Amino acid sequence: MNLAYTPEQKAFRAEARAWMEAHVPRDPLPSFDASREGFEAHRRWERTLNEGRWGMVTWPRDYGGRGLDLIQWLIFEEEYYRAGAPLRVNQNGIFLLGPTLMEYGTPEQKARFLSAMASGDEIWAQAWSEPQAGSDLAAVRSTARRDGDEYVLSGHKIWSSRAVFADWAFGLFRSDPQSQRHKGLSLIFFKLDTAGVRVQPIPQIDGETGFAEIFLEDVRVPAFNRLGAEGEGWSICMATAGFERGLMLRSPARFQMAAKRLIELYQAHQDEVEYSTRDAVMQSVMDADAYALSIYATASRLMAGGQIGAEASVNKIFWSELDIALHRTALSILGARAELLRAAPAAGDVGRWLDGYFFSLAGPIYAGSNEIQRNIIAERMLGLPRA
């Protein structure tokens, strides 16, 4: 891995920075989880990004991207967070399903879905978890019965991010009724306004509805909506999970910018807190930088032809625990002021820390719980026997 940026990479950074300075909204957008209005405001931002071909810079030009490499993507992310640009409402699509479609989709599927995904015209929800499966994805029971040129979907999904306002969802279904565990599963897309689909919002701790249950009763979808071969959904989902845990879902810039804000918060209040708080601040800064270096190394290896393996689980555990520690340190600095919700009249910037802390609590659960990741590390990286 070369730790020095090339002249081309520096020029790309300058271009990205200039565009962000010209286009990032001056006022924060309303939450995309709180209302349809906020969701649509973020959809318009996705369209603005796509018009500048910044929607997903690593995608081919034919699908609205720039065909850039992963190092350039990391540079773009650094400029994105530096500019304080809005959170990406379509991250399930562009960061998770999109790369999987690139690898496993047919030319017709790529043509149908990728451009609409990049433009924000179609926002995607993730529909993997089920009430009886939890983090054990191989235990899903929802079914996909083949009937001619269609599948008939039935079952119950839960903890589906963005499903309340999204347009499409991708989920894992048991297409072989006699199959067990990882066998006989297929990855299938469905529109959330299809007859037989019912979406039930789940209020979060802050009252917003970032999650939903999805009930499917004899939902008919074209067989065209299956990604990959029938019964091979597990291996395809694991590729998506690799993107999610190992690289794309949480770019290092997210935590480096939060660490920078944490330093500023500490400097503003250092006379009010115990001296030991400084150690916690410095640990968060060092961890954020360590994560960045690790991801740069992973990106370099992938560009050289390598693959994301079980080490994706290490990354996932690291960033999820870093996020909690960083926000807990911020709340300890703020003391009683940390209890102000973002909407409180006197909250100011304080409310962002409580928002971030609430969200960080979900980190060890989503994208595969940290308990599952530790099992993967034990078995696949350390060679330990199954418990």
The residues annotated as belonging to the active site are 244
Question: Chain centroid to CA 269: how far?
Answer: 33
Residue with tokens 């306002």: 165
- Write out the two tokens for 77: 């992310």
Integer Cα distance of 227 and 233 in angstroms: 8
| 291 closest CA partner among 255, 337, 327, 249 | 255
- All residues at 6 or more sequence positions from 83 whose CB lies less than 8 Å from its CB, including other chains: 17, 20, 21, 24
107, HSE (Cβ side, Cα atoms, 13 Å): 1
CB 71 within 8 A of CB 247: no
The DSSP line for 328-366 is: HHHHHHHGGGGG--TTSTT-TTHHHHHHHHHHHHHTTTT
CB 185 within 8 A of CB 231: yes
CB 113 within 8 A of CB 101: yes
Q: Which residues contact 243 (CB under 8 A, 6 or more apart)?
A: 95, 96, 99, 100, 249, 308
